[in-house]
Amino acid sequence: MKPVFWLFETNLYLPGKRGESQSMKPVNTLIDHEHINWNRLEMLIRKTFSDIPDETMKIKKFSEGYSNHTYLLSVGSWESVLRRPPFGEIPAKAHDIEREYRILSKLHGVYPLAPKPYLYSEDPDIMGRHFYLMEKKQGVVINEVLPNHYGPSEQVGPAVSKGIIHSLVELQQVDYQKANLMDIGKPEGYLERQVHGWIKRYAVSKTNEFTGVEELEAWLIKNMAATVDTTIVHNDFKLNNLVLDPYDPGIVKGVLDWEMATIGDPMTDIGAVLAYWGEKGDPDMGISVVTNQSGFFSRREMAELYAQVSGRDIKSINFYVAFGFYKLAVILQQLYYRWKKGATDDHRFASLHIPIANLFEMANLTRENRIL
C-alpha cells in the first residue's frame, strides 16, 4: 500500500460534510489563479532548487479550513507544501506566515517531527501575501474515520493514544533556549494572559446567553493553576494535526500547524489534547471525533500516561482541561458570531450554539471533577 498524505486545518464537524472524502482533491494548475501567479512561483522554485525534474508542476489544494491556505506542489518526484494566509482582509498580526517559517527553521533541527521549511518569500509578483514552502510529511492524518488498513479500533486505539502523548512530551523536552526560540513567546504571565485573553474573545463575540459561563470564567480566574515550568507550547496539539506512519498508527511522523506556537505553560497543551479527546457518551462538541471508539484511552488514562511519561504533577489537570473546553467553546462561538451577524451565509454554522452550550457544560463538569 502506498503511503497517503492527508492534511486538515481543523476537525470542526459541520452538518452536511460528514461522509465526504478526507483525501485531497486534485485540481488544475490554475486553482486560485486570481490570487497566485503559479508560473512565477514555478520560476522561483526552479531557480532555488537544482534537482527539479523537467516536468509540469502539479497543484493540489488541501481542505480549506479557516486558517492558512495549504497546497501540495509536485514536479515529478519532487514535492513541497505551500502555506499562505487566507484571501481577503485579515486582522493585523494574524496568520503570521513569516513567524511560522522562523519557528520551523529553528525547531526542525531539534524536533524532526516539525516539517523542514524550504524557502520564504514576500514577492508581490507571485501572490499578494507572504508565503513559504516546506517539507511534505508522508503519512496519514486521522480526522473523521480510522483507515481500514490500520485494523480494528481495539488495536489502533492504544497505539494512537500512546503516540500522541509521547510526541507531545518529546516536544516539551526540547530546550527552547538552546534552540534559540526564546523570541517566540513571553513565558512570564503566559497563563494569566491566556485566560483573560480568551475571556475577552468570548465577550466580543457573545450572542446567546449560555448557562454557567460567568461562574466558569470566575472560577478560571480564581483557580488559575501555578505554572511550574515553561516549554515550547504548540497551542493546537490534537490528533488531526499529527501525521501518523501509514503502516503503524503508533508512530508519529509529523506535527503540523505551528502558527500559534509559543513559550509557556506545557500543561495548557495536554489540557487541549484532553478537551479534543472525545469519549463515548460525550454530547455533541462540534468536532469530528474518533477517540470515542473502543480501544482508545479515556481522558483520565491519557492524563495518567502524560504524568508518567513527562514526570509532571497533574494535580491541577481539571483546571487545564476545563480551560481547554472553554477555549474550544469560544472558537465555535467566534464562528457562530460570524454567521449570526451575517458575515457568512454558510448555514451549517446555524446549529453551533448546541455544541457551544455543551462545551461550557463540560468545562463546568470538569471543574467539579466529574469528567476526568
Kindly report the CATH number that applies to the domain delimited by 148-367: 3.90.1200.10
pLDDT of 347 reads 81
* Res 94: pLDDT: 55
Query: Would you state the pLDDT for residue 8?
Result: 33
Q: How far apart are CA 62 and CA 7, in angstroms?
A: 6
Beta-carbon-side half-sphere exposure of residue 369 (alpha carbons within 13 Å): 2
Question: Burial of 30 by CB count in 10 Å (0-12 exposed, 13-18 middle, 19+ buried)?
Answer: exposed
Sheet holding 78-84, edge to edge: 25-27, 58-61, 69-75, 78-84, 131-134, 117-121
Domain with CATH 3.90.1200.10 in the chain: 148-367
Residue 62: what pLDDT? 81
CA distance 356 to 139: 32
pLDDT of residue 345: 79
Considering the chain, tell me which residue range(s) the CATH 3.30.200.20 domain(s) occupy: 25-134
Q: What is the DSSP string of 236-261?
A: ---GGGEEEPSS-TTSEEEE---TT-
In the predicted model, residues of the chain with pLDDT beneath 70 are 1-30, 63-67, 88-95
Rounded CA-CA distance 90/188 in Å is 28
| Predicted pLDDT of residue 128 | 84
Neighbouring C-beta atoms of residue 316, cutoff 10 Å: 17
The per-residue pLDDT for 91 is 52
CA gyration radius for the chain?
Answer: 21
CATH for 25-134 (3.40.50.2300, 3.40.50.150, 3.30.200.20, 3.30.1490.120): 3.30.200.20
